[in-house]
Amino acid sequence: MTNKIKIYFSSLLIIMSLIGFAQKAKPIKTKIPKRPKAATELVGFAAPKMETVRIGIIGLGMRGIGAVERFTHIPSAEVVALCDVHADRVERSQKVLSQRGKNPAKTFSGSREAWKELCLLDDVDLVYIVTDWQTHADMSVFAMENGKHVAVEVPGAMTLKDIWRIINTAEKTQKHCMMLENCVYDFFELTVLNMVQKGLLGEVLHAEGAYIHNLEDFWNYYENDWRMEFNYHHRGDLYPTHGMGPACQALNIHRGDKMNILVSMDTKAVNIPEYLIKNRKISADSAYKFKNGQHSMTMIRTEKGKTIHIQHDVASPRPYSRMYQISGTKGFANKYPYQGLAFEATQIGDDIAPDLEDLNSHSFVPKNVMDAMMKKYKHPIHKELETKAKEVGGHGGMDFIMDYRLIYCLRNGLPLDMDVYDLAEWSCLTELSRISIENGSAPVEVPDFTRGAWNKLKEYKHYFVE
Ligand SMILES: NC(=O)c1ccc[n+]([C@@H]2O[C@H](COP(=O)([O-])OP(=O)(O)OC[C@H]3O[C@@H](n4cnc5c(N)ncnc54)[C@H](O)[C@@H]3O)[C@@H](O)[C@H]2O)c1
């Protein structure tokens, strides 16, 4: 080979490897389907008012029966239809209605397809889905196609394909599809959101959230073992919405900002494989094929230069935690393991702490200041509902507030607190984190699920009757 040819080939090699490097550094993109012709974007969408909201509930297992009871405490909400594969679960819920002095609901059971009959009823306005993860998308799409609004448990869908199906159907049918993310109504989170919206934390730059909950005591109670099955076969953050919801609301996601890119990493799985060997007598060979990493972490960067850190761990012997940290240029809020607030002294009014020099952001504010701040910034939703919510219960009251707000907004023709794009953004981590992890923690682009409307509204807000 002459020197000239050698130089030619080595330059070619360098160029090719540079191109290869550039390609590797580029984020992995997933397909964004074109908006179907008959579809219209739904940011800020409100449906016509309705006097009464007639509800059909599908899925009456551990979680569903609580919803039946909660609706009996909400004015102008009527549970008119109940469905579960198991007749005895339907009967149990029917009993709840009668004990609370309500009319009996129509009942559907006995097959895995009976829910379709519920969705076809003319006298149902809202289909409320509390089944396992794999059934959420099919049920939501079918219900909307048959003229119903939908409320669906978390996560709303487990794949991007299903998320896009839900968005396209909601946009085509102009129906709500709200995910039942309750943690955004928790007392600390909603009070902090109010502080954020009043500028107390300055510009919020970083938010954290998680689902850290050792599920060892629960694994045997899910219908057909659906939760263990899904964890067995999938890596990534399978339950991201409790962490994502409060973080995304504080960061105004798709109301002036959007998530651009994420990176995920996980540990190997240890405790669940050991649990399977010990408690289910599964061979070590199959147990260690369990895919979901014991601890997974996802980092997200937004268009406006903010970050979110989300974690998932359902196996380690740790206290329950949703992390929940909001970090701004002038303040900080932390929920777990104990609640704390820290501010630049100027952020705390004289009415609360006249001796400002004693306070600085090197530590949390003292309890008396914390209590006074929590009281002063109590969210209007909590001012109205806290007493009733604590009486009715459901995760300390946040479930009741979630259902109450859903019915209130539907009845008054207001945009719901969470729209179909929230469902998409908070659920999409399940598949996107898997893609990142399976590609050596490569960056993955987070699709703009609004397909261009993320900047139409400038901040997140709850709507009220004027
Ligand atoms: N937001 C929260 O705090 C919270 C808490 C617990 C559970 N969840 C969510 O609630 C959902 C249900 O969880 P769970 O713990 O009640 O599970 P579960 O297994 O106890 O209940 C699911 C129920 O759905 C029924 N079902 C399944 N397929 C059906 C079909 N085709 N037709 C009719 N009924 C069907 C089952 O028979 C079962 O009764 C999940 O999505 C879970 O993630 C949310």
Q: What is the pLDDT of residues 395-437, one digit of tens each?
A: 899 999 999 999 999 999 999 999 999 999 999 999 999 999 9
Measure 226 CA to ligand 1 centroid, in angstroms: 9
Q: Is 185 in the pocket of ligand 1 (CB under 6 A)?
A: no
Nearest to 448 by CA among 13, 19, 45, 43: 43
Q: Is 300 in the pocket of ligand 1 (CB under 6 A)?
A: no
Q: Mean pLDDT over all residues of the chain?
A: 94
Q: Is 384 in the pocket of ligand 1 (CB under 6 A)?
A: no
C-alpha 186/C-alpha 323 separation (Å) is 13
Q: Is 186 in the pocket of ligand 1 (CB under 6 A)?
A: no
Q: Is 177 in the pocket of ligand 1 (CB under 6 A)?
A: no
Q: Is 89 in the pocket of ligand 1 (CB under 6 A)?
A: yes
Q: What is the pLDDT of residues 228-252, one digit of tens each?
A: 999 999 999 999 999 999 999 999 9
Q: Is 223 in the pocket of ligand 1 (CB under 6 A)?
A: yes
C-alpha 443/C-alpha 300 separation (Å) is 9
Quickly state the pLDDT bin for 18 (edges 50, 70, 90).
Answer: very low
Tokens 């263990």, located at residue: 228
DSSP assigned state of 464: -
pLDDT of 86 above 80: yes
Q: Which atom of ligand 1 is the closest one to the Cα of 224?
A: 19
Estimate the crossing angle of helix 64-71 against helix 87-99, to 10 degrees: 20
Measure 343 CA to ligand 1 centroid, in angstroms: 41
Phi, psi values for residue 55, rounded to 5°: -115, 135
Q: Is 463 in the pocket of ligand 1 (CB under 6 A)?
A: no
Q: Are 178 and 406 in contact (CB under 8 A)?
A: yes
Please give the share of the chain, as a percent, with pLDDT higher than 90: 89
CA 426 from centroid of its chain's CA atoms: 5
Of 9-18, 113-122, 397-406, the least confident: 9-18
**3-state class percentages of the chain: helix first, strand second, coil last, to nearest 5:** 40, 15, 40
Quickly state the pLDDT bin for 138 (edges 50, 70, 90).
Answer: very high
Within 10 Å of residue 175's Cβ, how many Cβ atoms? 23
Residue nearest to atom 38 of ligand 1 (CA): 61
Quickly state the pLDDT bin for 4 (edges 50, 70, 90).
Answer: low
Q: What is the pLDDT of residue 307?
A: 98
Q: Is 176 in the pocket of ligand 1 (CB under 6 A)?
A: no
> Best mutation site among 153, 183, 211, 423 for ligand 1, i.e. most ligand atoms within 8 A of its Cβ?
153
165's tokens = 């199906």
Q: What is the pLDDT of residues 271-284, one digit of tens each?
A: 999 999 999 999 99
C-alpha 63/C-alpha 93 separation (Å) is 12
pLDDT of 318 above 60: yes
Q: Residues near 208 by Cβ (< 8 Å), separated by ≥ 6?
A: 243, 247, 308, 309, 310, 311, 323, 324, 325
Homologous superfamily in CATH for domain 184-381+420-445: Dihydrodipicolinate Reductase; domain 2 (3.30.360.10)
As a whole number of angstroms, the longest Cα–Cα distance in the chain is 95
pLDDT of 165 above 60: yes
Q: What is the pLDDT of residues 19-78, one digit of tens each?
A: 454 455 699 999 999 999 999 999 999 999 999 999 999 999 999 999 999 999 999 999
Quickly state the pLDDT bin for 17 (edges 50, 70, 90).
Answer: low
pLDDT higher at 365 or 15 = 365
Per-residue pLDDT, averaged over 364-387, amounts to: 96
Measure 391 CA to ligand 1 centroid, in angstroms: 24
* CA-angle at 463, arms to 386 and 459, nearest 5°: 110
